[in-house]
Each structure stands twice: as C-alpha cells, then as structure tokens.
Amino acid sequence: MNVLDTVRNAVILVSCAPVAACLPPADDGPGMATDGTSGTGTTGEPGACPALLDDLSGLPETVHGAPVEEVDQDTVWAAADSPHVVDGVVRVRAGATLTVEPCAVVLMGEGAQIAVEEGTLAAQGTADAPILFDRRDGGRWGYLLAEEAGVVRLAHATLRGGGSDSVTYDGATVVGDGPTGGPYVENVFVQNVTVEDSAGYGIFMRRYAAFAPGSENLTIRGAGADLVQQAPRPLRIDVMAAGTIPTGTYTGNAADEIELDPELEVVQDTTIPNRGVPYLVGGGGGITVARQVDDPGPVPVLTIEPGVTLRFPNVPNSSALTVGDDANPPRPGSLVAMGTAEAPIVFTSAEPEPAPGDWIGIMLPAGAGTPDSEVRLDHVEIAYAGAENGVGGYACHSEDPSGNVLDEVGAVTIFGWAPAASFLTNSTIEQSAGWGVFRGWSLDEGPDVDFTPTNTFSNLAYCEQNRIWDMCPNPDVYDCVGTI
C-alpha cells in the first residue's frame, strides 16, 4: 500500500462513523452468497453490514494477495470495501498491523492464506458488527497463521471452510505456530469466535503456542469434515498450554474431543480445564510431569479440574500418566486430581472397543515421593489400565492359584518410595489387567498403607492391592485372583 492508499483509508475511517454509513447502496441483479454460490436475496438496504448479508452481489470486490501481497505498514481493510477477496497469500510483516474492520467480509480463494510473520492481524468485530471469513468459491481456503513472532486477534468473527493444508497444519483453519523451545508465545486471541467446516482441526496450536489471556467463548463445529482419520477434532494443543484453552463449545465435530499433544514434558504448573468434551492424549499417548534436570525451581504441579476425562490410546510402553521419574537423583513432580461425586475425573482408554490393559495407568516412581512432591486423587475413575510398564523387582514374587506369575502392573503403580498415607480416596478402579494398586516398597521405606478404604474395585485381573516387601504371602499365592 502506498502513501495515497494510506491517506485514502484514513479518510474512509474518519468519514464513516458508523461504518455502515459508508457502505454502497444495494444493486438489483442475480444474487451471490458469501461463499460464491448463487443466492436468492438482495444485498440489503443502503448502509447494511456486509457480514450480515446473505448476498453480496451488489458490492464490488477488493482483491488482495494475487499472488502475494506484503503488508509492511499499518493497513485497514474497510467494511465499505467488502467483500475483500484473497486470491493468494497475504503476509503481514514486522511491525505492521492488518486491521479488518467490523462488518467486513473476507472471501478466501482456494488455498488462500493470511500469514502473520512478525506483525498483527486484528479482526475484531462486535456483537452487532461481526466479521466473516468465508470461501470465495467451492474450494477450501488455507488458514490464518500466527507465526512465532506474529499475533492473530479475532473477536466476534466467523471463519468457515478453511483447512486446505493437510500436510503441515493437518487441515486447520487457524494455526498458532510456536517455537520449538520455551517459553510459550500467546499468539492467538479469540473472543466470541466461531470456526466451522474445517477440513481438519478447527484450531491447531503448534509446539510452544498458547491462547492469549482473555480468550473466551470459542465455538468450533464441523471440524474434520475431510480429514476424518487424520485430524477429526476441534482443537489440538500442547498439554502445558491446556490451561489457556478458552471457554466455549467444542461439539458437532467428527470427533468431539480436544487433542493434547504430549511431546513436551510438563515442567511448569499446568491446569487441564473442563471444557465439556474429553481430552485425547495424542502422540505416544503418555504425559510426564517432572521438574527439568538441574532445575532448582518449584516442583511442577499438574492440576486436573472436576469433570475432566482423559483418554489414553493403546501405545505399548508409552501410554501412561507418569508423575516424577526414577532417575538418580529423581526428578520430582506433582499431580492434583480432585473430582467431586457429581463431576468425577476419569482416566480411561481411547480405543473404540476398550479392554483391560489398553494403557499403562498412573505411574508414580520415586520422583512422586520427594518431600516437595504431592499426589492427591479424589473422586477419580481409572479404567482399562494395567498394561506392561517395565517395572520389576519392587515387590514379592506372586502367583495365582494356577501358578501364573503376577506382574508388577496396575491401574496405579507406586515404586521406589513409600507414601505416608493413602492419597487415593472416594475413587473407582475397574477393568485393570493387573492390580488395582501396585505397592512397590518395603517396611524399611514406609508403612503398610492400605488403599482400599473409601475406594471401589471391580473386574480386576489381580487383587485390589499387593502385599509389600516384608509381608509376602507364604506360599506366594493370591487366592483373590479372578474373584473381584
């Protein structure tokens, strides 16, 4: 945009208050809906808000990004110039802000994208003057991208029909792209925003990317319209950024669950909020909460809100919630999952036909038992756990009445330390392929803590809990196997 264009935009902004006052009058003629298909209405009365019209046929198009447009100074896409058509790529450069006015309509051509490299895209409408991003024609458009140093701010906006990039961004309509290492960048702000009919994810917050403070009232529906197997969910985000997930509605998608990306360990305080749909633990299916090596700072706490469901896939030797580690010295971690009778916290299988042993369970190695660590589980439900976990040599040799050796696996596995008291209360463990609670310590390390009071166990392969060292059965046979 040259100086003359900048002045012209400035005149429009000054002379059009409110915005609707400067919109062109309606023209009669064949209708054209905002997605480029034939419509049946008119463009409405003079001064109407374009984003609220079903037919834009009387409004001349303002074309951008043919094939590439560089926005390197502050630029305004005025509502009066709607519809704005993006035929290629619009790049917002360092220091520049591309402002999309309230009431504006942006029609995106097939594969078109707006990439914010180091500047800001501000498309912030109001309840009475929203903003619309829609298809220019029948083909899918690409995405709105906030790169590591860029910011996308959306308010009272609807985004429809994006996600043409199925390779890099898994068909997402909005992408927040973060750095490969911390700290997090809060580069996407959404408030009263609807994302619908996305090819894959509605929004993909990649690597160390998080939602900006104040984000709320996000609706994602119709996600996974094309990529049902690859990316059928409304939102994918790193587990440590889960606490920034906005309130909103995440139903009406190919899969109504939020995907947590666990590639990064939880090394800072993190909350998984209740957003009304389950969470799928993606990737290798494992979440680890542990302080970083050689970090003298506070122990990271993973807090899970009441009503949350975490679903773990069947990934051998990986799919578990692990708190701390058993290194020398152990890295500490903490877990606080305090549900209620009305809103329990559920840890379960993600498999279509769940079975005992689909996932490992909650693993509590020595790092969970350091003086600075904390584990609290109340009103939780743990189901279909007990897969092989690699633990051995922490308890008595045990057999069932048929002589089969009972492995050191359970829905909850404690090893390398001894709790002073039960941290599991008012909870249910069912369908475990091993013990309900595996207790891997000796009397030299701590007391014989009983985890059965207030808890319910059902359909276990082994017993509710094993005997600890120094209290081994003689003979080493558990007659409870198969009776619970």
Q: Domain of residue 383: give its range.
A: 262-484
pLDDT for 295 = 83
Task: Check residue 364 and give its pLDDT.
Answer: 97
130 falls within a domain: no
Is 7 a member of any domain? no
Q: Is residue 481 part of a domain?
A: yes
- Which phi and psi angles does 293 have, rounded to 5°? -60, 135
Q: What is the pLDDT along the chain (484 residues), one digit of tens a residue?
A: 443 343 333 332 333 333 333 344 333 333 334 443 333 334 545 678 999 998 888 788 999 988 999 999 999 999 999 999 999 999 999 999 999 999 999 999 999 999 999 999 999 999 999 999 999 988 899 999 999 999 999 999 999 999 999 999 999 999 999 998 878 999 999 999 999 999 999 999 999 999 999 999 999 999 999 999 999 999 999 999 999 999 999 999 999 999 999 777 899 999 999 999 999 999 888 999 999 888 888 999 999 999 999 999 999 999 999 999 988 888 999 999 999 999 999 999 999 999 999 999 999 999 999 988 999 999 999 999 999 999 988 988 888 888 888 899 999 999 999 999 999 999 999 999 999 999 999 888 999 999 999 999 999 999 999 988 877 766 677 767 655 4
In a domain, 339, yes or no: yes
Report field, pTM of the whole predicted structure over 0.95: no
In a domain, 370, yes or no: yes
**Residue 34 domain flag:** no
Inter-CA distances, 3 with 10, 73, 122, Å: 10, 10, 21
Q: How many other CB atoms are there within 10 angstroms of residue 71's CB atom? A: 22
Task: Please report, in angstroms and rounded to a whole number, the separation of the first and last CA atoms in the chain.
Answer: 74
Closest C-alpha among 136, 87, 99 to residue 12: 99
Q: 212 in a domain, yes or no?
A: no
Q: How far apart are CA 422 and CA 447, in angstroms?
A: 11
Residue 331 within a domain: yes
Count up the domains in the chain and report the number: 1
Per-residue pLDDT at 352: 95
Q: How many Cβ atoms are within 10 Å of 482's Cβ, its own excluded?
A: 13
